[in-house]
Amino acid sequence: MSALAVFLSAIGLADICRKLTDRRWPALVAGPVVVLGCALLAGLWRFGDVVLLTFAAVAAVAWVRLSSAAERTGTGEGRALTVFGATVAVLLVLAGWMSPVEGLLAGWLRWVGLGDLEPERALMIFAVVLLQLVTANQLVRLILGAVGAVRPAGQPQPSDRLKGGRLLGPMERLLIVGLGLGGQIGAASAVVAAKGIIRFPELNAQRKDNGGSGIDEVTEYFLVGSFASWLIAMAGLMLALN
């Protein structure tokens, strides 16, 4: 599944670039550059590698363009989600075309004393961790937009009444992935329960402030966003454990 790991790394770094600057070209360039860098470091230069990695690079550019447009205009979330889902599906189905991960990455793992860790798994763990930082937030926002729980960028959002969500989301996903990789699946599930307990007083307080009404959109935002965030973390954990 090295092609999938490369794709997730590409969009992960591209989305970070997109958040760090208002210019579009760094994010558009970042995806193909990451794909090329991964091919060099992992020794992925056979025919099947080139075909799938080229597809991953093109999909990374399409993801940046479509997700950016959806965030800006509040429309087209389905197209961006379709590109992401279809790319993941294709790279999973055709994973057998890829050659084993070797090259400089395998040598570096042996050099730092991680020779027992398979290079392909190391690449996937890196990609999954990177995915949780910014791209997962983007995926959650697209899902929320698809169900009408968020508005176009620049307009008041239900999230404005739930402080810290954009920071709490990556933190909880990283905690879930980290605990899962450490074999603490039970502790990871406790993180899910803890978030609901922590947020309940805040939701209840807003209901009282609004006379018992007007909380529906915030509740929908919280529930849909939380479940989407947890599913992304769990899916990433499954990829990293295989």
Predicted confidence (pLDDT) per residue in 140-166, tens digit? 989 888 877 666 666 666 555 555 556
pLDDT tens for each residue of 47-83: 999 999 999 999 999 999 999 888 888 788 899 999 9
Model pTM?
A: 0.86
155 Rama class: left (phi>0) / alpha (psi -120 to 50) / beta:
beta
H or E segment to which residue 241 belongs: helix 216-241
Q: From the CB of residue 88, how many other CB atoms can be counted at a distance below 10 Å?
A: 16
Q: Which one is predicted more confidently, 5 or 149?
A: 5
Given this model, what pLDDT does residue 167 score? Answer: 75
CA–CA distance, 215 with 208 (Å, rounded to integer): 9
CB 44 within 8 A of CB 105: no
- Residue 202's pLDDT band, with cuts at 50, 70 and 90, is low
Note the pLDDT of residue 38.
Answer: 92
Tokens 């993180």 belong to 191
